[in-house]
C-alpha cells in the first residue's frame, strides 16, 4: 500500500515537472521566436492623402493640389516624388505605366523632402494644360518613394516600397446622359443558375466607352419568391475610358428557393443602368436521394412478391405451376 502511494506521488511530481517545462518553453517562444514588428514596414512607413485626386482642368490655366505625406516611423525619412503614366490593365492601377499627356503638364514643387520621425509635410503639384488641349480624360500617378539611411552602410540607403497618388483629370464638361449611353453592364449572371445551398455567386462587369472616367456605384436588390428582399451596396470603382471593371459577390439566401436579382449601377448625374437575372437555391441532391430511398422502401414493402418472382426468374428457379 505504501509502495502504491509512493508511486502515485512520484507520478504527480513528474507530471508537474513536465507541465513546468512546457510553460517555460512557451514563454521562451513568445519572447524570442516571434518576429518583432519593424518600424520600417513598407506598407506602414508613410501615409499619403488624398490618394485619389479628381480634377476639372481648364486649358491655359494652372490647377494646384497638395499631397499630404505623414511619416509613421520612428526614424527620419527622405521622400522622392516622381511622375508616371497610368494604365488600369488587369484591374491594377499601379502596373504597366504608360506615357500620358498629363505628365508634360505637371510640375512637382519639391520632388525631394525629408520628414522627421512622426511628422508630416505637403508636396505641391501644379498642372497647366496648354490652351489647345482637347476635351478628354487625362490620368497619371505621382509616386512617392520613402528612403532611409542605413546605419551599417551609410553609403547604401534602403529604399522602401513606393506609394502612388492617382490624378484623374478631365477637360470638358461631362454629359452624364451621354455617358450613361456609352457605359455597358456585361455578363450579369450567377456562375450557375441552380445552387444546392447558400451562398450564391454573382458576377458582372462594367465597360466605359465614354471619353473620360467616371465612378461606378453599383447596388444589388435580391427579391425572393417568399420572404423579405435585401439590398446590397457594392464597392465603388473608378473606370477609365476603354476599360472594364469586374465585380464578384456572394449572396446569402434563406427561406425561399427562387430569387430575382436586380442590379443598378449609378454613373453620376442621377443616371442608372439597370439589368437583372435569376437563380434557384434548393438541395436537389438531397431531394434526389430522398425520392430514391422512398422508391426503394415502397417496393420493399408493397412489391415484395413481384420482386421475389423477378429474382427467381432471373436465376431460373421460378415454377409457373
Question: Is the Cα torsion angle 84, 122, 78, 74 positive or negative in sign?
Answer: negative
- pLDDT tens for the 321 residues of the chain, in order: 444 444 444 555 454 444 444 444 343 333 334 333 333 334 457 889 999 899 999 999 999 999 999 998 888 889 999 998 764 443 444 444 456 789 999 999 999 999 999 999 999 999 999 999 988 888 899 999 888 755 545 555 555 677 889 999 999 988 999 999 999 999 999 988 888 777 889 999 999 999 888 999 999 999 998 888 899 999 999 898 888 999 999 988 877 788 999 999 999 999 999 999 999 887 656 565 666 666 666 666 665 566 666 666 666 655 554
The pair phi, psi for residue 291, each rounded to 5°, is: -65, -45
First to last CA, the chain: 81
Boundaries of domain holding 84: 46-173
Per-residue DSSP letter, 171:
E
How many domains is the chain built from? 3
SS3 (DSSP) at 194: strand
Nearest-angstrom CA–CA distance, 163 and 80: 11
**Who contacts 67 (Cβ-Cβ below 8 Å, separation ≥6)?**
48, 49, 50, 81, 122, 123, 125, 142, 144, 165
Residues 260 and 301 in one domain: no
Q: How far is CA 272 from CA 176, 209, 275, in A?
A: 10, 16, 10
Out of 135, 158, 173, pick the residue that ends a domain: 173
Decide the pairing of beta strands 237-239 and 119-127. Answer: unpaired
On whether both 270 and 247 belong to a single domain, the answer is: yes
Separation in Å, CA 166 to CA 18, 55, 78, 140:
59, 11, 21, 6
Distance of CA 37 to the CA centre of its chain: 25
Q: Examine residue 225 and state whether it is found in any structural domain, yes or no.
A: yes
What are the pLDDT digits (tens) for 129-164? 999 998 888 889 999 988 875 554 555 555 567 788
Q: Rounded to the nearest 10 degrees, how much is the dihedral formed by the CA atoms of 173, 140, 166, 142?
A: -140
How many other CB atoms are found less than 10 A from the CB of residue 140?
27
**123-138 confidence digits (pLDDT tens):** 999 999 999 998 888 8
What is the C-alpha to C-alpha distance for residues 309 and 28, in angstroms, rounded to an integer? 76
Domain termination site, one of 128, 147, 173: 173
DSSP one-letter string for 104-151:
HHEEES-SEEEE-TTEEEEEEEEE---TTPPSEEEEEEEEEEEEE--S
**Is 201 found in the same domain as 99?**
no
Domain boundary among 173, 205, 229: 173
Residue 55 has which C-alpha cell?
480634377
Which residue's C-alpha cell is 434563406?
A: 254
Among the residues of the chain, which ranges form H helices? Answer: 2-28, 101-105, 176-181, 284-302, 304-315
**Are residues 168 and 143 in contact, defined by beta-carbon separation less than 8 angstroms?**
no
Q: Are residues 72 and 151 in the same domain?
A: yes
Minimal CA–CA distance to 51: which of 158, 167, 147? 167
Verify that 257 and 304 share a domain, yes or no.
no
User: Does one domain contain both 166 and 193?
Assistant: no
CATH code assigned at 183: 2.60.40.10
Identify whether 39 is part of a domain: no
Strand partners, 264: 219, 274
Residue 33 lies in a domain: no
Rounded-to-integer distance, Cα 318 and Cα 111, Å: 100
Residue 155 placed within a domain: yes
Residue 305 maps to a domain: yes
Amino acid at each position: 500500500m505504501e509502495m502504491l502511494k509512493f508511486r502515485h506521488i512520484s507520478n504527480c511530481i513528474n507530471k508537474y515537472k513536465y507541465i513546468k517545462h512546457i510553460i517555460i518553453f512557451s514563454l521562451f517562444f513568445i519572447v524570442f521566436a516571434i518576429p518583432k514588428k519593424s518600424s520600417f514596414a513598407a506598407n506602414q512607413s508613410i501615409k499619403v492623402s488624398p490618394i485619389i485626386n479628381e480634377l476639372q482642368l481648364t486649358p491655359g490655366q494652372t490647377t494646384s493640389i497638395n499631397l499630404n505625406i505623414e511619416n509613421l516611423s520612428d526614424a527620419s525619412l527622405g521622400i522622392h516624388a516622381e511622375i508616371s503614366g497610368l494604365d488600369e490593365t488587369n484591374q491594377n492601377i499601379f502596373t504597366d505605366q504608360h506615357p500620358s499627356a498629363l505628365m508634360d503638364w505637371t510640375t512637382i514643387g519639391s520632388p525631394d523632402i525629408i520628414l522627421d520621425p512622426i511628422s508630416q509635410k505637403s508636396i505641391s503639384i501644379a498642372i497647366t494644360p496648354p490652351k489647345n488641349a482637347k476635351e478628354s480624360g487625362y490620368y497619371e500617378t505621382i509616386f512617392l518613394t520613402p528612403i532611409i539611411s542605413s546605419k551599417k552602410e551609410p553609403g547604401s540607403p534602403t529604399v522602401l516600397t513606393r506609394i502612388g497618388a492617382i490624378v484623374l483629370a478631365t477637360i470638358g464638361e461631362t454629359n452624364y446622359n451621354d455617358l450613361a449611353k456609352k457605359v455597358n453592364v456585361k455578363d450579369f449572371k450567377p456562375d450557375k443558375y441552380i445552387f444546392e445551398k447558400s451562398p450564391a455567386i454573382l458576377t458582372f462587369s462594367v465597360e466605359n466607352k465614354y471619353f473620360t472616367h467616371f465612378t461606378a456605384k453599383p447596388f444589388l436588390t435580391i427579391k425572393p419568391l417568399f420572404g423579405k428582399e435585401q439590398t446590397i451596396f457594392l464597392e465603388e470603382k473608378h473606370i477609365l475610358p476603354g476599360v472594364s471593371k469586374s465585380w464578384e459577390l456572394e449572396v446569402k439566401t434563406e427561406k425561399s428557393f427562387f430569387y430575382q436579382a436586380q442590379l443598378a449601377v449609378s454613373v453620376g448625374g442621377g443616371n442608372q443602368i439597370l439589368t437583372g437575372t435569376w437563380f434557384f437555391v434548393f438541395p436537389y441532391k438531397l431531394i434526389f436521394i430522398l425520392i430514391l430511398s422512398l422508391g426503394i422502401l415502397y417496393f420493399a414493402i408493397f412489391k415484395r412478391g413481384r420482386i421475389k418472382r423477378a429474382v427467381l426468374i432471373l436465376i431460373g428457379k421460378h415454377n409457373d405451376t
